[in-house]
Amino acid sequence: MRLSTKGEYGVRAMAVLAYEFKNGATPLRVIAEREHLSELYLEQIFRELKKDGLVNSVRGPKGGYILSKSPENITVGDVVRVLEGPLAPVECVSEEETKELCSKESCCLTKFVWAKLRDSMSKVLDEITFADIIKDLSKVELEVE
| Residue 90 burial (C-beta neighbours within 10 Å; 0-12, 13-18, 19+) | middle
125 is a domain residue: yes
The tens place of each residue's pLDDT in the chain, 145 residues long, gives 689 999 999 999 999 999 999 999 999 999 999 999 999 999 999 999 999 999 999 999 889 999 999 999 999 999 999 999 988 888 778 777 655 666 676 778 888 898 899 899 999 999 999 999 999 775 666 554 4
pLDDT at 37: 97
Q: What CA–CA distance (Å, rounded) separates 45 from 53? A: 13
110: CATH:
1.10.10.10
**Which domain covers residue 21, as residue numbers?**
5-139
pLDDT at 112: 86
116 is a domain residue: yes
pTM of the entire predicted model: 0.86
Bridge partners for 75 per DSSP: 129
Q: Between the CA atoms of 125, 14, 41 and 32, what dihedral angle is there, to the nearest 10 degrees?
A: -140
118 is a domain residue: yes
pLDDT at 133: 94
- The number of folded domains in the chain is 1
44 is a domain residue: yes
Residue 4 identity (one-letter amino acid):
S
29 is a domain residue: yes
Answer for the pair 19, 12: CB distance below 8 angstroms, yes or no.
no
28 is a domain residue: yes
145 is a domain residue: no
Contacts (Cβ under 8 Å, ≥6 apart) of 10? 45, 48, 49, 79, 80, 82, 83
55 is a domain residue: yes
Question: Mutual orientation of helices 76-84 and 5-19 as an angle, nearest 10°?
Answer: 140
